[in-house]
């Protein structure tokens, strides 16, 4: 039966390292305070005029090389991001131009932290249907240029980093494949994690009053997000496993969205999954939203933590609210 597999992975992080100590020079915070609440020690931030598609390009090229393909072999690009290079057109079109492959289909996905999980599911369905053979799935973010780097924005700013991850998803008849995906959303909880301006729902879309109020910076009700995350994260992982007649014990490696190390630790404890079966990168990358899962997956594979035949689960929770999981036989 035709399915899809991850044929190649790539990732890219900007050179600039921003430590917790660096942040303490710009706002009232400390390394101890940040690590205690998030587990983050440092993150990468861009320098100069760099957009999400700029970070995505080297990650995509590495994924294509690993897959043994050229960009011209692609049928489609699916780009997950909450920080597009410009308002429109989408970053998938900009990446297509940088890869030099005009004419192929492109799609932008705006599911924030769950973006890569949704994107992989969409790619899997296109390939299962026979419509596509090779799809580039990308998650890339530039958060740093849109953060409130002051004590007012501290709770959000200390969390986020920039980066990109990419996967070439290809048709297969073999055992190694994407087995299933579970996807969910609850828009009634949108206000607990959002960016309010500029927005078409406001007239004007941006005003001096909005800027003064900081509506152009992301806002988060941290305790509410934490409570929702530790509830939905384990539930969707169990759902995708049970739907395939498996248990959590069958998971060889869990790659959670890198939102907060404390959330990942609580999810692992809830499921009975220890550090030996979970891979985290947030300590060094911060929360890179749609990029966090492909970055962590690429690192886990390079480190030899995932072997052929392993059942790998990618799981995410984030703004929307959205949450989901992919089950993969490696």
Residues assigned a catalytic role: 113, 257, 287
Within 129-196, residue ranges assigned H as helices are 154-157
Q: In 168-207, which positions are buried (b, 16+ CB within 10 angstroms) versus exposed (e)?
A: bbbbbeeebbbbbbbbbeeeebeebbbbbbbeeeeeeeee
| Strand 311-318 versus strand 253-256 pairing type | parallel
Distance between CA 94 and CA 110 in Å, rounded?
16
- Full strand arrangement of the beta sheet holding 253-256: 177-185, 322-329, 311-318, 253-256
Do residues 233 and 260 lie in contact, with contact meaning Cβ atoms separated by under 8 Å? Answer: no
Q: How many CB atoms lie within 10 A of CB 106?
A: 20
Q: How many CB atoms lie within 10 A of CB 86?
A: 11
Helix (H, G, I), strand (E, B) or coil at 24: helix
Q: How many CB atoms lie within 10 A of CB 9?
A: 22
Do residues 104 and 74 lie in contact, with contact meaning Cβ atoms separated by under 8 Å? Answer: yes
Helix (H, G, I), strand (E, B) or coil at 168: strand
Do residues 59 and 138 lie in contact, with contact meaning Cβ atoms separated by under 8 Å? Answer: yes
Query: Residues 6 or more apart from 101 whose CB is under 8 A from it?
Result: 71, 72, 74
């Amino acid at each position: 039966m035709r399915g899809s597999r991850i044929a190649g992975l790539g990732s890219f992080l900007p050179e600039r390292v921003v430590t917790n100590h660096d942040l303490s020079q710009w706002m009232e915070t400390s390394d101890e305070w940040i690590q205690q609440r998030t587990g983050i020690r440092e993150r990468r931030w861009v320098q100069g005029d760099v957009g999400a598609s700029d970070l995505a390009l080297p990650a995509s090229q590495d994924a294509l090389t690993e897959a043994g393909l050229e960009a011209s072999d692609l049928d489609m690009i699916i780009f997950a991001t909450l920080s597009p290079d410009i308002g429109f057109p989408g970053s998938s079109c900009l990446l297509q131009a940088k890869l030099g492959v005009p004419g192929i289909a492109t799609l932008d996905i705006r599911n924030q932290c769950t973006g890569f999980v949704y994107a992989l599911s969409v790619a899997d369905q296109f390939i299962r249907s026979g419509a596509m053979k090779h799809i580039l799935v990308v998650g890339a973010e530039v958060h740093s240029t849109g953060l409130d780097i002051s004590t007012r924005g501290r709770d959000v700013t200390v969390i986020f980093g920039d980066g990109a991850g990419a996967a070439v998803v290809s048709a297969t008849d073999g055992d190694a494949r994407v087995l299933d995906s579970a996807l969910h959303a609850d828009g009634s909880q949108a206000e607990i994690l959002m960016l309010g301006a500029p927005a078409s729902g406001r007239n004007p879309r941006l005003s001096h009053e909005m800027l003064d109020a900081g509506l152009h910076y992301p806002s988060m009700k941290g305790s509410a997000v934490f409570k929702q995350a530790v509830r939905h994260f384990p539930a969707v992982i169990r759902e995708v496993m049970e739907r395939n007649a498996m248990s959590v014990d069958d998971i060889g490696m869990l790659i959670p969205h890198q939102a907060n190390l404390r959330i990942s630790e609580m999810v692992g404890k809830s499921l009975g999954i220890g550090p030996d079966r979970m891979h985290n990168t947030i300590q060094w990358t911060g929360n890179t939203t749609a990029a966090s899962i492909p970055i962590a997956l690429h690192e886990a594979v390079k480190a030899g933590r995932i072997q052929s035949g392993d059942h790998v689960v990618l799981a995410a929770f984030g703004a929307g609210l959205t949450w989901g999981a992919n089950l993969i036989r490696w």
